[in-house]
Amino acid sequence: MTGLCGTPKCQSMSDLSPAAEILRDLIRCPSVTPVEGGALDYLESRLKPLGFVVTRKTFSSLNTPDVENLYARLGDQSPNLCFAGHTDVVPAGDETSWSANPFGADVKDGVMFGRGAVDMKGGIACFLAAVEAHIRAGKTLPGSVSFLITGDEEGPAVNGTSAILDWLVEQGETIDACIVGEPTNPDVIGDAIKIGRRGSVSGTITVTGVQGHAAYPHLADNPARGITSLVCALLCDPFDAGTKNFQPTNLEVTSIDIGNPAFNVIPASAIARFNVRFNDTWTAETIKNEIESRLVNGAGDKTVRPDPATGVRQPIDWKVQYTERPSHVFLTKDERLIEALSVAVEKVTNNKPELSTGGGTSDARFIKDVCPVVEFGLVGQTMHQIDERVPLSDLNVLTDVYSEFLVSFFAGNTK
């Protein structure tokens, strides 16, 4: 007998909680970006019997893979509280380096191993388990609950959450508040709620020189000099000291490439790639303006060795090209949403969570254009790693937090 994902279907184990059973089944769906892998089929099979109206949408765009997404809603009243997440996962890497099958969901010493255990099939499993328990206990919700699940968060993020949100708006569907189940906690569940994110801009600097023989530099123009000056200009001074709600803006040069294997050839070009995470001091446009101002200054730098023949520093022939879709900085200020989640976290964990804006980006950057959004999930220490794993006890704690959050959020809407 096989499960929905074509893997051997194990008998339910008495020591697995409902959340752990759901996570086990999801991990066994090999949904590596952008492959659906049976994960959405599985979620649909659990949501429909609960009364959810389930819609599956596949979106396509030029030069990006097709992606299947799921939107499911229970109820037709407002407010509509949405849980957003992704079933796609990053590749397992060298599977021989894992101590367990990355798509086997093996449990060892109370810990479940598998790709996506933390990022973020575990969060989906816990919220679904919380909703199932709420419904089966006969509890009513003065409003609606929905799931927005994509298969494109770990990929280009073009045909996933952004596309299905556009479709929902076209359909007249309203989401009033959203929680994203990304792994937000650094050490233990209850550490942090994400209430915003810094923006992100990535770009590539290209310096064009003149290729030539290393022994005849006067006949060439070495682009290594130019790329060195430009990179130093980007990194030399801080952008800001941070703000009340955000860390300082940070730019990292992620690669410098010349691609020249020969020792005696002056290369023709050099490139450098960078990413900047910016706070609310900046917008995507103003941070680009600052970057370009620094590059202009760097291009006029006279400290790098001048032309050996003339003693004059040659002008740098450079350009910068940005990736098409920057992520914009945002901060959620919805007191009801933040308070409801904070109350739930503190009640279950006895921890007062930090309201954080640290870390990278997530699909919350798209959702914030539609409704207030917060993020809360598992501990993220092993996400994307070999032997990604989650303690079963953490699944139970997160399920309890989500259960309390459902009660807390809707309590203010009781008629």
Residues tagged active-site: 88, 153
State the Cα–Cα distance between residues 384 and 154, nearest whole angstrom. Answer: 10
Tell me how far CA of residue 381 lies from CA of 48, 104, 213, in angstroms.
33, 20, 49
* CA distances, 403 to each of 119, 134, 175, 255, 397 (Å): 20, 7, 20, 44, 10
| Burial of 238: CB neighbours in 10 Å, binned 0-12, 13-18, 19+ | exposed
What is the torsional sign of CA 305, 309, 315, 321? negative
101 vs 37: CA distance, rounded Å: 16
Q: How far, rounded to the nearest angstrom, does the alpha carbon of residue 124 sit from its chain's CA centroid?
A: 15
Give me the sign of the Cα torsion angle 275, 277, 280, 281. Answer: negative
Whole-number Å distance between alpha carbons of 190 and 344: 10
Per-residue tokens: 365:
């950057």
Q: What's the DSSP call for residue 249?
A: P
Q: Give the whole-angstrom CA distance, residue 109 versus residue 208.
A: 57
List CB contacts of 333: < 8 A, sequence separation 6 or more.
Answer: 372
Give, as one character, the DSSP assignment of residue 313.
P
Helices (H), 222-276: 223-235
Tokens read off for 210: 């003149």
For residues 373 and 362, give the distance between their C-alpha atoms in angstroms, rounded to a whole number. Answer: 11
